[in-house]
């Protein structure tokens, strides 16, 4: 047994077919957890679950497709996860939306609502669905993948930044509500990570140079550099941490 051992734990990770979510699922599986792979497309979920099972052993992963904008889909995700593995010990709310880049004056109502609904409201829905069983066991870890966008102002990512700041407050509020049940709720706030989701921010060489110029490490991150924090929070190592936001950004916010 080590502090980071996740044997016997079941982790549900939304948005886990690529990028940060995939890296978290793979590392949690590596540390012994059973993992539920979830995103919108069932065939992609199936392939990722197969890859993890091939690598870490049969019955390590199951695929359950879900669109986070649908409350019914999320309830089905919880129900099917319980059916497959009997419980949920760790919930990672990673899936998010950002359909708009530009000043807030130009965002449509539908775009703004989609960002707030998918990045905040859906997280609260899913957490509320999972928490009762955690209360029953007096144990659980909830991880929300936020962003350093929630710590800074932005001229092009305003609505997204607002939603990610709200996720940090959601974690603080829920940490206060559920702490008496030994349920920990924390955020991870990545900086710029080389994912398809953030491609618009790093694919252009000029944008990339501007993003890394003042960062102490002088580079952007990769998904696997976020996964370790999730393993920490989901394992015994993170048992006394709650209501916090772990910033993992190569030093971008300090420089």
Domains of the chain: 10-250 (3.40.50.720)
d(CA 66, CA 118): 12
Q: Which helix (H) or strand (E) holds 188?
A: strand 183-190
Look over the chain and give the mean of its residue pLDDT values, rounded to a whole number: 95
pLDDT given at position 196: 75
How far is the C-alpha of 139 from the C-alpha of 183, rounded, in Å? 5
pLDDT at 200: 67
The mean pLDDT of 100-121, rounded to a whole number, is 97
Q: How confident is the model at residue 201 (pLDDT cuts 50, 70, 90)?
A: low
* Known catalytic residue at 160: yes
pLDDT at 102: 95
Q: What is the pLDDT of residues 33-66, one digit of tens each?
A: 999 999 999 999 999 999 999 999 999 999 999 9
Termini Cα distance of the chain: 39
138 has pLDDT over 90: yes
Across the range 165-187, mean pLDDT stands at: 98
pLDDT at position 6 is 98
Distance between CA atoms of 43 and 62, rounded to whole angstroms? 12
Between CA 179 and CA 21 the distance in angstroms is 25
What single string gives the DSSP state of each residue in 26-54? HHHHHTT-EEEEE-S-HHHHHHHHHHHHH
Segment 142-158 shows an average pLDDT of 96
Q: How far is CA 41 from the centre of its chain?
A: 18
Alpha helices (runs of H) in the chain, residue ranges in sequence order: 19-30, 42-56, 71-85, 109-116, 122-137, 158-178, 199-202, 205-212, 224-234
Q: Report the DSSP beta bridge partners of residue 184.
A: 141
Whole-number pLDDT of residue 198: 64
Q: Which of these is catalytic: 100, 101, 160, 178?
A: 160
């Amino acid at each position: 047994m080590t502090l980071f051992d996740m044997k016997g734990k079941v982790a549900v990770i939304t948005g886990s077919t690529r990028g940060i979510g995939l890296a978290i699922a793979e590392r949690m599986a590596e540390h012994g957890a059973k993992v539920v792979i979830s995103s919108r497309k069932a065939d992609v979920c199936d392939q990722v679950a197969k890859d993890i099972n091939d690598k870490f052993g049969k019955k390590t992963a199951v695929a359950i497709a879900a669109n986070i904008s649908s409350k019914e889909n999320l309830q089905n995700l919880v129900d099917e996860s319980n059916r497959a593995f009997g419980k949920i010990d760790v919930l990672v709310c990673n899936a998010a939306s950002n359909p708009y880049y530009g000043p807030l004056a130009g965002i449509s109502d539908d775009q703004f609502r989609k960002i707030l609904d998918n990045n905040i409201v859906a997280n609260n829905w899913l957490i509320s669905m999972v928490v009762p069983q955690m209360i029953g066991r007096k144990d659980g870890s909830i991880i929300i993948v936020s962003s350093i966008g929630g710590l800074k102002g932005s001229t092009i990512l305003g609505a997204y930044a607002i939603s990610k700041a709200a996720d940090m407050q959601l974690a603080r509020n829920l940490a206060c509500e559920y702490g008496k049940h030994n349920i920990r709720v924390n955020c991870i706030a990545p900086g710029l990570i080389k994912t398809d989701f953030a491609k618009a921010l790093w694919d252009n060489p000029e944008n990339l140079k501007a993003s890394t110029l003042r960062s102490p490490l002088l580079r952007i991150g990769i998904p696997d550099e976020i996964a370790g924090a999730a393993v920490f929070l989901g394992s015994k190592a993170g048992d006394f941490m709650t209501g916090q936001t772990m910033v993992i950004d190569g030093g971008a916010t300090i420089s």
